[in-house]
Structure 1
């Protein structure tokens, strides 16, 4: 899940996304700057958080990745399409 470096979500919105991912119990990788207190410990068995820049194309081409939640920026769109992944935009 990546929303780009220019996204501006409120703490409440980020908290809801974090809680939704946690409740899903599905494996995920989320590139984000802000992390709710205690979140990393709670999701350590199912999720991976990357703070800051991430090698998005490498991640998207990994065999374990089956979908991509994206903000639809030009690079993310091209990388998601070239990786052959279904995208939630």
Structure 2
């Protein structure tokens, strides 16, 4: 198994240092989604893309916006849950 030393990470907006340890390989595979969420909050990429999608659904009968659906799908694929 590849050994990766501890590393420190500073989140963009809050300037908070977080210590990462990659020794818990069986704990969770979804930790990278936090970084993806932070990156999207900085770039507003999913908001920009969702604004380009025309939503022809009747809004009286919808619970989730196009941005919410797009965000769910992109994060789902990024986490390896394609289906």
TM-score (norm: length of structure 1)? 0.27
Larger fraction in helix: 2
> Which structure has the greater CA radius of gyration?
2
More strand by share: 1
